[in-house]
Amino acid sequence: MDIQLTRKYNVAGPRYTSYPTVPYWDNSPSVEDWYKLVKDTFLATNDKEGISLYIHLPFCESLCTYCGCNTRITVNHAVEVPYIDTVLKEWEMYLKQFPGKPRIKEIHLGGGTPTFSVVKISKN
């Protein structure tokens, strides 16, 4: 075991069990307000520490009894490519909103099961 790698990643991280996150469930912002929030957050963090990205990958092959996530249960792996294409389009949309080049500090993959695609690969 690589102890330095363990120390590097053994830190508290945000807990994402829903997307959009709870504060936006009842009071969804307008598109303009959302873009403003994105820009303001970018300006407040990008140059100082970099931005954090959360990529929601919602698919699971079976439902865990304790699941509280925004997940989609399926064994149909044909959903992967269209979903990832849509995520990439969303990223392009954000890139147009950012007033500068993003410095990505961290990426969180949530779900769902981020290895959903790997499961498919390993079965073939």
Under the criterion CB under 6 A, does residue 69 sit at the interface with ligand SF4? yes
Cβ-Cβ contacts under 8 Å for 103 (sequence gap 6 or more):
46, 47, 50, 51
Binding ligand SF4 (rule: CB under 6 A), the pick from 42, 46, 60, 83 is 60
Could you tell me the smallest distance in angstroms from the CB atom of residue 118 to ligand SF4?
A: 13
| Residue 14, CB-side half-sphere exposure with 13 Å CA sphere | 14
Give residue 59's Cα distance to chain centre: 13
- 57 belongs to the binding site for ligand SF4 (CB under 6 A): no
* Best CA proximity match to 38, nearest among 82, 90, 89, 107: 90
What is the smallest separation between the CB atom of 69 and ligand SF4, expressed in angstroms?
A: 4
Q: Binding to ligand SF4 by residue 63, rule CB under 6 A?
A: yes
For residue 44, the one-letter residue type is A
The token duo for 101 is 């080049």
Q: Per CB under 6 A, which region of 4-12, 19-27, 81-89, 107-115 contacts ligand SF4?
A: 107-115
Please report, as ranges, the residues that interact with ligand SF4 according to CB under 6 A. Answer: 60, 63-64, 67, 69, 71, 111-113
